[in-house]
Amino acid sequence: MPNQITGVRDQGSGNRDKETNQIPELRPPTPDTRPPIKVLIVEDSPVAQEFLTYMLTSDPSIQVVGVAHNGAEAIEAVKVKHPDVVTMDIHMPVMDGFEATRRIMETVPTPIVIVSGSTGAGEVGGTFRAIEAGALAVVRRPPGIKHEEFEAGSRELIQTVKLMSEVRVVKRIPRVFKVDVPERPVLSPPLQRTAGIQAIAIGASTGGPPVLKDILSGLPQGFPVPVLIVQHIAQGFVKGFAEWLSGASRFPVSVASQGELLAPGHGYVAPDGFHMGLGNGPTIALSDHAPENHLRPSVSYLFRSVAQVLGPAAVGVLLTGMGRDGAEELKVMKEKGAITIAQDEESSVVHGMPGEAIKLGAATYVLPPEGITALLVELVKK
């Protein structure tokens, strides 16, 4: 077997250089010289503070630089300690996590991960308001150390913190008015009418919830086409996400169920742990097949299924998010005759997924959220 360091073969007495017949010097691996990820914990419970500190510092690449007991303290601590990531509770005295997130993103923008102790209706509402204000992700606070799900929950929290530390966030300007959707988007190439649109498939990850809300909010009452949505989100939050999205956008959205017949003007979110595709009818077809791109549900699975079932009678939309989930399959949709759309870089929190699709030539159009809404309206007029 070739030696991975020198490329020569093991000659029994040791690895020797072909020219000098000398045993090559084995150098120790270069140590990781990157500075640790600095984390600020925002949590009012002393027990939860200690618990989160214990979990996060179990990874040598993470350093907890401070603890804030409420949102007001968090705002000041961010200015002083300059953390790479903030873990944010929602329900706290003095100032809650939503308001703290909003003010941090308007003054000292920093990646924020909502760490929620509950997926109940009251908690979830505040969680997605915080994401709308600029938080990047939400995870459940892992259960106690002796719980069987502790290790998995701890890994998810640590992985999320590491991933979000790589995101470059920008200052959020308060939006006090609704952007009017243009009646006719200026498109290049010019819009060519295709077969009647029977479904719209949308995939999103980091930064997706507020973009989805904006897109759905701009669709007119009586919009005649169903919308299928895969949003990468932590286990346990899908039902609350669907309820928040429905209420915030005034576009009816629910968690999809097996065999459900698609209804016009309704949104369907893929449930926890299942891929979502289409069956005959068309109907919702859920699958527990292996994860794709390490994800289940996967945008790739949805786009591929929609391409196979509907061909040109579909629209595919790939929004902000890390990685490349859905990029190649958006190209499959395009090759089948569907209209395909990727979110532009300027409006994306992370341009990974749509950026990969653009590189592949998978997007018919590259647009900001308001342009996506306008195009969807234009596409289904007839």
More confident residue, 358 or 181: 358
Which of 4-13, 94-103, 134-143, 164-173 has the lowest average pLDDT? 4-13
Active site residue 232: yes
pLDDT band at residue 332 using 50, 70 and 90 as cut-offs? very high
165 counts as catalytic: no
pLDDT in tens, 14-69: 444 434 444 445 455 555 677 999 999 999 999 999 999 999 999 999 999 999 99
Domain spans, the chain: 37-164, 199-379
pLDDT of 285 higher than 70: yes
Q: Which of 305, 325, 344, 348 is catalytic?
A: 325
Average pLDDT over residues 365-376: 95
Catalytic residue among 165, 205, 246, 348: 205
Catalytic residue among 69, 232, 275, 351: 232
For position 179, what pLDDT does the model report? 42
- Domain 199-379: assigned CATH number: 3.40.50.180
pLDDT at 3 over 50: no
pTM of this structure = 0.84
Q: What is the pLDDT of residues 175-212, one digit of tens each?
A: 443 444 445 555 666 666 555 899 999 999 999 999 99
pLDDT band at 281 (very low <50, low <70, confident <90, very high): confident
pLDDT at 32: 60
> Which architecture characterizes domain 37-164 according to CATH?
3-Layer(aba) Sandwich (3.40)
Stretch among 83-87, 150-154, 259-263, 265-269 having the lowest mean pLDDT: 150-154
- Reported as a pLDDT band with limits 50, 70 and 90, residue 116 is confident
Mean pLDDT of 282-293: 96
pLDDT value of position 145: 86
3-state SS of the chain is CECCCCCCEECCCCECCCCCCCCCCCCCCCCCCCCCEEEEEECCCHHHHHHHHHHHCCCCCEEEEEEECCHHHHHHHHHHHCCCEEEECCCCCCCCHHHHHHHHHHHCCCCEEEEECCCCHHHHHHHHHHHHHCCCEEEECCCCCCCCCHHHHHHHHHHHHHHHCCCCCCCCCCCCCCCCCCCCCCCCCCCCCCCCCCEEEEEECCCHHHHHHHHHHCCCCCCCCCEEEEECCCCCCHHHHHHHHHHHHCCCEEECCCCCECCCCCEEECCCCCEEEEECCCEEEEECCCCECCECCCHHHHHHHHHHHHCCCEEEEECCCCCCCCHHHHHHHHHCCCEEEEECCCCCCCCHHHHHHHHCCCCCEEECHHHHHHHHHHHCCC
Same fold, 37-164 and 199-379: yes
pLDDT of residue 336: 96
Q: 344 catalytic, yes or no?
A: no
